[in-house]
Every structure is written in C-alpha cells, then in structure tokens.
C-alpha cells in the first residue's frame, strides 16, 4: 500500500502533532518485570509496556475491556461479548508476564487475558498518533499530471476485481478516479457506480440527470461558471463521493475544475498553523433553501471548514462552499475577524492557478470525486449540456477498499 506524502505535507503533519507526555507517574512503582522483548511496569492506574524502544501505557479497564478471550469477544462476528458496564473501574491485574511474545494478565477471580505485543503496539495511543488512517498523495495540477494515472476501462472494470482494486487504490490516494468507455446513458452510469458502492439517495433523487434549465433552486442548474466547492455542505454528514458523467454537450466551454483541498490545507498548516487550527475549531453553518413549484427543502449542516482526527491531527474532511455558507452567527466578533483572515488565506491557496486541474468531461468518461477532499467547479458554457450522476455512500466505498486489503 502506498504511504507517500509530499514532503511539505508530511512535515506539516509532523509539525502539528501534539506532544506525548512522558513524565513519570506520581505513584510509586509496584512491580517491575523484564522479558526478552518487553519491559512491564505496573503503575497505580495503568500498565506501562516498553516494546521495541517505545513506552506505551494501557489503562487497566481498557485492557480488560479489550480482552480477546472466548468469553469476552466473539471472534466469529468480531464483536465484544463482555459487558463493559460491569467492569470494576478500580480493577487491577493480580499478575502480569510476557510469554512467547504475548502479554499475559491474570485478573481477580482468575480470568486470564492474553495480548500479542504487536497488537498492543498497533493499537496503543502512542502507536496510532504516529500513523495515518488513510495514506494519500497530495497534489497540484503538475503533480497529478506527472503521475500519469490511467483510467479504468468499462469492460474490464465491470468484470475484473483487480481492475476495481486498482481504481479504488487510485481513488484513495488522489481523491479522484476515472472510468472510460462507459455507455453514455443514465442506466450505464448507475451500473458503473454500483460496481463501486451503494448509491446515496438525497433530495435530488437517486440518480439525477439535468441540464441548465433551472429546474432546481441551485446554480448548478444553469450555464454559469461555478467556483471550487464541496457539495452538500448543508448536510450534517456531507455526501462522501460525487459521480459525474457528461452524456452530451452541444456547445462550448464547460470544463470541470478540480482542486485538492487537502493539498491547499496542508500548505496553510505549514505556513499559518494558528489559522489552520482556527478553521478546524470553529463550527459554521451551511444552508440549502429551496422553494419551487415542485420542491421544498430547508437543510442545515453545522461544522468547521477543516476536520482533523484529534489523536494524530490528520485531516479527513474539508467543508468549503461559499455559495451555501449561511449567516455567520456561531462565534463572537473578535473570532469572526480572525476567521475571515484564516478563510482568506485558505481561499487564496485554493485559487492558485497551479493548484487547478481542468478536465473536459465527455460522453463515456465517468469521474468519481472524494467530496470530503477534492473541490470541484466548472467554467461557463453554451449550448445544451446534459449531465448525470449521483452520490455514493462513503462508508461503503471505504469498506470495499478494505475488503481488498487497502488501507482506508
């Protein structure tokens, strides 16, 4: 599995990591054991395991809660059997040892828990905070074009799992992926999307096909240029994957704009960490109000522009849509001023020409866009332009990738 990050993004990630407190506990040392591969120290409230040079601390209740014995965990269903609410919060093991690469704990009452040292290292907080949940290759137009990522082909994609796996790997790494030679119909577009994931039905329907007829209360249903944005920012959980297929275009213009929002955000983190942190911390409101003859909707989604995992500061979602951003009433006036400064700096980065990838969508070319990462837009156009597409459920796309052994 690829785990490459551009040097700038990687250094920014390291720069923004929270320090791990390594101070000694205030309680006295109760027990010390040595083994060939690990050192154990039973402290007042946790067990410290030093393994391969890394000290890791595990709360005693956590250790009992994560026991993988047959009475505590159903290995067939991968579900916990133990009632966490029944664990005594002052629980401590009566004995501990390392045997054949396993931590062995004996609890009051005689229950025994065994943990592989490798499993503990992988699942410790100290281990997780240095590992990315999803490796990515961040890009501007030059980086992406030089990577020469090939599109999947319809026939092979629909029949060959190795082609689907390659497609998913490209999607995970770059946030966009293409399938070529798809028949220019709504039905074929639905078929190719269902090969990847479940379709997420929204107020726009399951599969949608539209032209510039203003049939919905949205500027997408026009011939106007659209600036870079993510979709459905007004959902509490924005749609994960956007699919587009241009079925026909009898006119000029209409190129699709793609911008890697994570590339721009990591540039901001590297240059102005305080502005990056502000955009991660302050929630704002997005809104979609539609009141037409056939449709009435009023949707609101609230969340920060940037979202990170708190344990490793990895960016996992950007919510950026200047069209649908609602009234700014979720922060005091002094924070408002600083928010606009931070937002302007991110917007400037997103609008650098070198970060813009322009693609002409033609009949047969279907694009899948990570709507939590890659912003899209378009240039204005003339003539009849018919586009179809849908949204896919993010969870099911990532599940499909993991079933192929990909890290997602």
pLDDT attached to residue 15: 35
- Residue 210 in this model has a pLDDT that exceeds 60: yes
Tens-digit pLDDT profile for residues 119-156 = 999 999 999 999 999 999 999 999 999 999 999 999 99
% the chain with pLDDT above 70: 88
Report whether pLDDT(261) > 50: yes
What confidence score (pLDDT) does residue 219 get?
A: 56
Indicate if 69 and 109 belong to the same structural domain: yes
Lowest-confidence range among 8-12, 80-84, 194-198, 304-308? Answer: 8-12
Question: How do residues 149-189 score in pLDDT, each as one tens digit?
Answer: 999 999 999 999 999 999 999 999 999 999 999 999 999 99
Of the pLDDT bands very low, low, confident and very high (cuts 50, 70, 90), residue 220 is low
Together in a domain, 219 and 279: yes
- Residues 272-298 have a mean pLDDT of 93
Give yes or no: residues 177 and 88 share one domain.
no
* Confidence band for 223, pLDDT divided at 50, 70 and 90: confident
End-of-domain residue from the set 122, 150, 171: 122
Question: Does 242 fall in a domain?
Answer: yes
Residue 31: inside a domain: no
Does some domain include residue 3? no
For residue 98, pLDDT over 80 is answered with yes
Helix axes 273-281, 261-271, angle to 10 degrees: 120
Give the pTM: 0.86
114 and 188 assigned to the same domain: no
DSSP assignment of 219-266, as one string?
GGGSSS-EEEE-S-TTSSS--SEEEEEEEEEESSB-PEEEEEHHHHHH
What the block records as the tokens of 56 is 């890791």
At 113, the pLDDT band (50, 70, 90 cuts) reads very high
Q: What's the CATH code of the domain at 397?
A: 3.60.130.10
- Residue 17 forms part of a structural domain: no
Token pair recorded at residue 154: 């319809």
DSSP helix/strand/coil, 291: strand
Q: What angle do CA 277, 302, 263 make, to 5 degrees?
A: 45
Give the total number of structural domains in the chain. 2
In this predicted structure, the answer to whether residue 401 has a pLDDT above a threshold of 60 is yes
Q: Which domain holds residue 67?
A: 39-122
Q: Dihedral sign for Cα 41, 46, 50, 53, please.
A: negative
Phi and psi for 88 in degrees, rounded to 5?
Answer: -65, 125
| Structural domain contains residue 277 | yes
Q: Give the CATH number for residue 111.
A: 3.30.2020.30
In which residue are the tokens 């040292």 written? 117
Residues 238 and 210 in one domain: yes
């Amino acid at each position: 599995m690829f785990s490459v990050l551009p040097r700038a993004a990687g250094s920014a990630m390291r720069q923004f990591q929270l320090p791990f407190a390594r101070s000694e506990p205030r309680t006295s040392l109760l027990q010390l054991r040595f083994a060939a591969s690990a050192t154990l120290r039973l402290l007042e409230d946790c067990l410290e395991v030093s393994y391969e040079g890394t000290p890791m601390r595990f709360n005693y209740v956590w250790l009992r809660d994560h026991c993988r014995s047959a009475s505590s965990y159903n290995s067939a269903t991968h579900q916990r059997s133990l009632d966490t609410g029944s664990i005594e919060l002052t629980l401590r093991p009566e004995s501990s040892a390392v045997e054949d690469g396993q931590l062995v704990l004996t609890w009051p009452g005689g229950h025994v828990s065994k943990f592989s040292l490798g499993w503990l290292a992988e699942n410790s907080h100290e281990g997780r905070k240095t590992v990315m949940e999803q490796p990515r290759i961040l890009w501007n137009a030059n980086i992406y074009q030089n990577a020469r990522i090939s599109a999947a082909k319809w026939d092979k994609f629909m029949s060959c799992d190795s082609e689907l796996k390659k497609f998913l790997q490209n999607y995970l790494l770059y946030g966009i992926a293409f399938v070529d030679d798809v028949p220019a119909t709504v039905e074929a577009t639905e078929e190719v999307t269902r090969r990847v994931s479940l379709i997420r039905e929204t107020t726009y329907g399951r599969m949608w096909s539209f032209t510039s007829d203003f049939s919905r209360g949205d500027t997408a249903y026009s011939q106007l240029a659209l600036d870079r944005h993510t979709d459905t920012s007004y959902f509490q959980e924005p749609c994960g994957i956007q699919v587009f297929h241009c079925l026909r275009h009898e006119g000029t213009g209409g190129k699709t704009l793609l911008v890697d929002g994570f590339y721009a955000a990591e540039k901001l983190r590297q240059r102005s960490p305080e502005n990056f942190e502000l955009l991660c911390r302050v929630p704002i409101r997005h809104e979609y109000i539609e009141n037409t003859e056939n449709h009435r909707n009023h949707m609101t989604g609230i969340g920060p522009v940037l979202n990170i995992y708190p344990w490793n500061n990895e960016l996992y979602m950007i919510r950026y849509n200047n069209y649908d951003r609602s009234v700014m009433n979720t922060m005091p006036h002094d924070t408002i001023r600083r928010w606009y400064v931070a937002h302007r700096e991110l917007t400037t980065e997103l609008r650098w020409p070198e970060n813009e990838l322009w693609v002409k969508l033609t009949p047969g070319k279907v694009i899948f866009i990570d709507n939590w990462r890659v912003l899209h837009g378009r240039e204005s156009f003339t003539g009849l332009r018919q586009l179809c597409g849908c949204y896919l459920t993010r969870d099911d796309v990532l599940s499909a990738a993991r079933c192929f052994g990909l890290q997602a």
